[in-house]
Amino acid sequence: MKTDVIDEIKSRIDIHDLVSEYVDLKRAGQNYKGLCPFHSEKTPSFMVNTAKQIFHCFGCGKGGDIFSFIMNYENMTFNEAISFLAGKAGVKIETMHHHDPDRGNKEALIAAHEEASRFFMHNLKDSKQALAYLAERGIKPEMIEQFSLGYAKGERDSLLKHLRATGFSDTLLKKSGLAYFGSGEAHDFFRDRLIFPIFDLRGKAVAFGGRTLSSSKNIPKYLNSPEHPLFRKSESCYALHMAKNSIVQKGYSIIVEGYFDVIACHQFGFVNAIAPLGTALTPGHLKKLKKLSPKVLLTFDADQAGISAARRGIELVYAEGMISKIVLLSDGEDPDTFLRKYGAEQFRKFLGGALSPVRFFLSKAGKNKIEGVRQFLAILSSCNDPLLRDDALRELSDLASEKVMRRELEIISRKSSAEGRRLPSSVVELNSTGETPEMSKEEEILLRIALSLPRMARRIAEQIDFANLADPLARRIFERVLALPQDEELSVDALLSDCNPEERSAISRLTIDPGIDMEEIAKNVSDCIGKIRLKHINMRISEAKDKGDADALFSLLRERTSLTKKP
| Binding-site member from 113, 211, 448, 509 for ligand UTP (CB under 6 A) | 211
Stretch that binds ligand UTP, among 6-14, 22-30, 152-160, 254-262 (CB under 6 A): 254-262
Task: For residue 210, state whether it binds ligand UTP (rule: CB under 6 A).
Answer: no
For the CB of residue 128, give the shortest distance to ligand UTP in the complex, in Å.
19
Task: For residue 111, state whether it binds ligand UTP (rule: CB under 6 A).
Answer: no
| Binding-site member from 119, 120, 168, 260 for ligand UTP (CB under 6 A) | 260
CB closer to Mn ion out of 112 and 265: 265
Indicate the helix (H) or strand (E) that contains 393: helix 386-399
For the CB of residue 523, give the shortest distance to ligand UTP in the complex, in Å.
33
Residue 376 binding result from ligand UTP, Mn ion, none, given CB thresholds of 5 to 8 Å by partner type: none
- In this structure, are residues 94 and 119 in contact, taking their beta carbons and an 8 Å threshold? no
The closest of 363, 325, 312 to 477, measured between CA atoms, is: 312
* Site for ligand UTP, residues 43 to 82, rule: CB under 6 A: none
**Phi-psi map region of 357: left, alpha, beta (phi>0 left; psi -120 to 50 alpha):** alpha
| Binding-site member from 224, 293, 468, 524 for ligand UTP (CB under 6 A) | 224
| Binding-site member from 259, 268, 361, 478 for ligand UTP (CB under 6 A) | 259
Euclidean distance between the first and final Cα of the chain, in Å?
52
Work out the number of other CB atoms within 10 angstroms of the CB of residue 16. Answer: 16
CB closer to ligand UTP out of 46 and 260: 260
Query: Distance between CA atoms of 49 and 32, rounded to whole angstroms?
Result: 6
For the CB of residue 73, give the shortest distance to Mn ion in the complex, in Å.
53
* Site for ligand UTP, residues 332 to 351, rule: CB under 6 A: 334, 336
Output the DSSP codes for 22-87. TS--EEETTEEEE--SSS--SS--EEEETTTTEEEETTT--EE-HHHHHHHHTT--HHHHHHHHHH
Residue 523 binding result from ligand UTP, Mn ion, none, given CB thresholds of 5 to 8 Å by partner type: none
Residue 222 binding result from Mn ion, ligand UTP, none, given CB thresholds of 5 to 8 Å by partner type: ligand UTP
Residue 437 binding result from Mn ion, ligand UTP, none, given CB thresholds of 5 to 8 Å by partner type: none
Q: Residues binding ligand UTP: what is the number (CB under 6 A)? A: 15
For the CB of residue 195, give the shortest distance to ligand UTP in the complex, in Å.
13
- Residue with the shortest CB distance to ligand UTP: 258
Query: Distance between CA atoms of 447 and 507, rounded to whole angstroms?
Result: 9
User: What x/- string results for residues 304 through 333 when contact with ligand UTP is judged by CB under 6 A?
Assistant: ------------------------------
CB closer to ligand UTP out of 278 and 283: 278
Indicate the helix (H) or strand (E) that contains 197: strand 193-199
Stretch that binds ligand UTP, among 61-69, 95-103, 255-263, 479-487 (CB under 6 A): 255-263
Q: State CA 422 to chain mean position distance.
A: 33
| Binding-site member from 198, 207, 271, 277 for ligand UTP (CB under 6 A) | 277
Stretch that binds ligand UTP, among 73-81, 218-226, 357-365, 546-554 (CB under 6 A): 218-226
User: Which phi and psi (to 5°) does residue 254 adopt?
Assistant: -105, 125
- Residue with the shortest CB distance to Mn ion: 334
**Phi-psi map region of 465: left, alpha, beta (phi>0 left; psi -120 to 50 alpha):** beta
Reduced to 3 states (helix: H, G, I; strand: E, B; else coil), residue 433 is coil
CB closer to ligand UTP out of 308 and 497: 308
For the CB of residue 336, give the shortest distance to Mn ion in the complex, in Å.
5
Query: Distance between CA atoms of 444 and 166, rounded to whole angstroms?
Result: 54
Residue 472 binding result from Mn ion, ligand UTP, none, given CB thresholds of 5 to 8 Å by partner type: none
- Residues whose CB falls within 8 Å of the CB of residue 438, separated by 6 or more in sequence, listed in order: 419, 470, 471
| Binding-site member from 38, 133, 181, 222 for ligand UTP (CB under 6 A) | 222
Instruction: Read off the DSSP letter of residue 99.
Output: T
For the CB of residue 204, give the shortest distance to ligand UTP in the complex, in Å.
20
Residue 211 binding result from Mn ion, ligand UTP, none, given CB thresholds of 5 to 8 Å by partner type: ligand UTP
Residues within the interface to Mn ion (CB under 5 A):
260, 334, 336
Task: For residue 257, state whether it binds ligand UTP (rule: CB under 6 A).
Answer: yes
Length of the chain: 567
Element counts in the chain: helices (H) and strands (E)? 27, 15
Query: Distance between CA atoms of 48 and 557, rounded to whole angstroms?
Result: 47
For the CB of residue 262, give the shortest distance to ligand UTP in the complex, in Å.
8
Task: Report the interhelical angle of 103-126 vs 128-136 (nearest 10°).
Answer: 90
Alpha-carbon distances, residue 66 vs 8, 26, 151, 328 (angstroms): 13, 18, 48, 44
The closest of 34, 120, 137, 52 to 509, measured between CA atoms, is: 52
Q: Residues in the site for ligand UTP, rule: CB under 6 A?
A: 209, 211, 220-222, 224, 257-261, 277-278, 334, 336
